[in-house]
Structure 1
Amino acid sequence: MGAIYLIRHGQAAYGEADYDRLSGVGLEQGAVVGAELLRRQVRFTEGRTGSLTRQRRTAETVLDRIGSSTTAKEDPRWNEYDHVDIVSHHGDGISQSDVDSRGYQGVLDGALAEWIGAGEDSPCAESWPAFLARVRGALDDLVAVLGKGENAVVFTSGGVIGALAGVLLGDPVMGLLKMNRVAVNCGITKLVSGRSGVTLLSFNEHSHFDGRAAQLLTYR
């Protein structure tokens, strides 16, 4: 039975002009989750990353830490939803510079709910059904290339992980709105693939941020 490890990217640069990059904490988080994968002695035959800078940089940091010869092939289907576009159309256009991270999260939560409710009628460049279809397609294609007992690692984002976890539990909306909400930076979600299909084995593992690494635990 093969496994797919979904790694959420490290902390991005909230409130800065270039949000799509890792903060100093984000880089440290990548090293910590890399050490955790090294401790587990997992061998990967396939690697994937979205095309966002924060995802690719996390992939580079982690794979370098574990000394893996596997490269993370870039596939934009693993990209996060466009939170700026969604908030622009469904959240009164409030930007990260207007409020603190807690306040912005409340705005984003409401905007995401409206985005989902609008379905194909959303004015956003990508609708909720389109987002869901692309991330499901990315997972299906990855599963298709894994051989028996082979493992893959994917560097992606909280919304993608939450939605896919929800799909596997039978409720993708709940996954995006609830599970995504508690995803930690550089948390590990593990899926297993076998004869009966893909199963969610664990979600948002983050014990590697216990103890001395506790100060590196972040959600945004």
Structure 2
Amino acid sequence: MGAIYLIRHGQASFGGPVYDRLSANGVEQVAVVGAELLRRKIRFTAARAGSLRRQLKTAESVLDWLGVSAILKEDPRWNEYDHVDIVARHGGGVPRQSQDPRGYQAVLDAALAEWVGAADDSPCAETWPAFLARVTGALGDLVASLGKGENAVVFTSGGVIGALAGHLLGIPEAGLLKLNRVAVNGGITKLVSGRGGVTLLSFNEHAHFEGRAARLLTYR
């Protein structure tokens, strides 16, 4: 039975001039993820990442640890939802830079709930149904590309992981709005693929950020 490991990217640079880049903390986080996957001695035959800088840099660092950087393929279907557009259309247009992380998260949570509720009627460039179709399609294509017993690793974002986990549990909306909310940077979610289809085996593993690495644990 093959497995697919979904890795949330390291912490981005909230409040900085460029959000879509790993913070200093994020750089340390992805090194811990690389060491953790190396410890598990998993053999990956495929790797995917979205086209966002924070996703690609996470992928490059982790795969360098594993010595398999050549297997990485970029696929923008693994990109996160456009939080700037969603907040602008559904959250009153509050700029990210004007908010502390917790304050902005509250605005984003409310905007995401409105976005999901609006479905195809949302004025956003990408609606919730379109986002869900995009990420489930990416997962389906990856699963179809794997041979028996082969493993893949995907470097993506919290909303994608939450939505897919919820989808596999039959509650995609709750996955986006609830599971996404507790996803940690550098968390590991494991899916298994067999005759019965794809199953969620674990969500948001983060024991690698306990003990001496506890200072690196972040949610945003």
Distance verdict in 2 for CA 1:210–1:123, change over 3 Å: same
Describe the superposition over 1:35-64 as per-residue Cα deviations: whole angstroms up to 9, x where unpaired. 000000001000000000000000001001
Q: CA contact under 8 A between 1:6 and 1:161: conserved in structure 2?
A: yes
1:99: Cα distance to partner?
A: 1.2
Asked if 1:118 corresponds to 2:118, the answer is: yes
> What runs of 5+ residues in structure 2 fail to find an aligned partner?
none
Describe the superposition over 1:86-128 as per-residue Cα deviations: whole angstroms up to 9, x where unpaired. 0000001111211100000000000000000111111100000
Structure 2 CA distance for aligned equivalents of residues 97 and 73 of structure 1: 32
Structure 1 CA distance for aligned equivalents of residues 70 and 3 of structure 2: 15
2:23 corresponds in structure 1 to: 23
1:120-159 equivalences under 5 Å are 120-159=120-159
1:53-132 equivalences under 5 Å are 53-132=53-132
SS at match of 2:48: strand
Structure 1 CA distance for aligned equivalents of residues 193 and 66 of structure 2: 23
Structure 2 CA distance for aligned equivalents of residues 87 and 17 of structure 1: 19
1:33 corresponds in structure 2 to: 33
Structure 2 CA distance for aligned equivalents of residues 70 and 156 of structure 1: 18
The one-letter code of the counterpart of 2:147 is G
Describe the superposition over 1:53-85 as per-residue Cα deviations: whole angstroms up to 9, x where unpaired. 000000001001122254220000000000000
Structure 1 CA distance for aligned equivalents of residues 44 and 66 of structure 2: 10
Q: CA contact under 8 A between 2:60 and 2:69: conserved in structure 1?
A: no
The one-letter code of the counterpart of 2:7 is I
1:162 corresponds in structure 2 to: 162
Q: CA contact under 8 A between 1:116 and 1:128: conserved in structure 2?
A: yes
1:17: Cα distance to partner?
A: 2.3
Q: CA contact under 8 A between 1:13 and 1:21: conserved in structure 2?
A: yes
2:211 corresponds in structure 1 to: 211
Q: What's the % identity of the aligned pairs?
A: 76
Structure 2 CA distance for aligned equivalents of residues 202 and 117 of structure 1: 27
Distance verdict in 2 for CA 1:120–1:211, change over 3 Å: same
Structure 1 CA distance for aligned equivalents of residues 214 and 70 of structure 2: 29
The one-letter code of the counterpart of 2:106 is G
Asked if 1:180 corresponds to 2:180, the answer is: yes
Q: CA contact under 8 A between 1:72 and 1:154: conserved in structure 2?
A: no
The one-letter code of the counterpart of 1:163 is A
SS at match of 1:3: strand
Describe the superposition over 1:3-28 as per-residue Cα deviations: whole angstroms up to 9, x where unpaired. 00000000000012210000011011
2:201 corresponds in structure 1 to: 201
Q: CA contact under 8 A between 1:191 and 1:202: conserved in structure 2?
A: yes
Q: CA contact under 8 A between 2:9 and 2:55: conserved in structure 1?
A: yes
Structure 1 CA distance for aligned equivalents of residues 138 and 214 of structure 2: 32
Structure 1 CA distance for aligned equivalents of residues 122 and 16 of structure 2: 27
Structure 1 CA distance for aligned equivalents of residues 178 and 165 of structure 2: 11
Structure 2 CA distance for aligned equivalents of residues 2 and 147 of structure 1: 8
SS at match of 1:21: coil
Using the size of structure 1 for normalisation, the TM-score is 0.99
1:191 corresponds in structure 2 to: 191
Q: What is the alpha-carbon root mean square deviation over aligned residues?
A: 0.7
Using the size of structure 2 for normalisation, the TM-score is 0.99
